[in-house]
């Protein structure tokens, strides 16, 4: 069982940066691929980024490529999302997710464990 907790959200001006963190409990964190999703008001939850269990492979939604970077530190049981050049359309609740699954499956929303989410608000 993995429990996830996100932090680092907040209010930022357009063009600014934030770094989200997702801390995991349990000793099996390094066996999970990790992903970030987001959900804006009135919209469905959407895939943002994913990282393989080793950290060697990363994947991004087209909307965030070149602006967001996902990384993980297995020694700290933590996955990060560095968000640069934020835009108003990035405003959403951001969730981290874990799965012992393929990245393709995770991108379709096949997540085994979810965090509670952290709010990111970008003002224009």
Which pair of tokens denotes residue 115? 């965090």
Say what the pLDDT of residue 27 is.
79
* Of residues 32, 36, 44, the one with CA closest to residue 18: 36
pLDDT attached to residue 85: 98
pLDDT tens digits along 41-97: 999 999 999 999 999 999 999 999 999 999 999 999 999 999 999 999 999 999 999
**Structural tokens at position 83:** 């968000």
pLDDT at position 64 is 98
Average pLDDT of span 1-13: 95
Question: 84: left (phi > 0), else alpha (psi -120 to 50), else beta?
Answer: beta
Would you state the pLDDT for residue 1?
79
């Amino acid at each position: 069982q993995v429990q996830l907790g996100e932090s680092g959200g907040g209010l930022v001006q357009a063009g600014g940066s934030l770094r989200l963190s997702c801390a995991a409990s349990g000793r099996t964190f390094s066996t999970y691929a990790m992903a970030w999703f987001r959900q804006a008001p009135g919209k469905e939850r959407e895939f943002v980024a994913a990282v393989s269990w080793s950290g060697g492979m990363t994947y991004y939604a087209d909307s965030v490529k070149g602006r967001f970077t996902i990384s993980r530190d297995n020694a700290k049981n933590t996955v990060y999302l560095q968000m640069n050049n934020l835009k108003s359309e990035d405003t959403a609740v951001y969730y981290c997710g874990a799965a012992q699954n393929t990245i393709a499956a995770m991108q379709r929303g096949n997540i085994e464990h979810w965090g509670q989410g952290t709010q990111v608000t970008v003002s224009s």
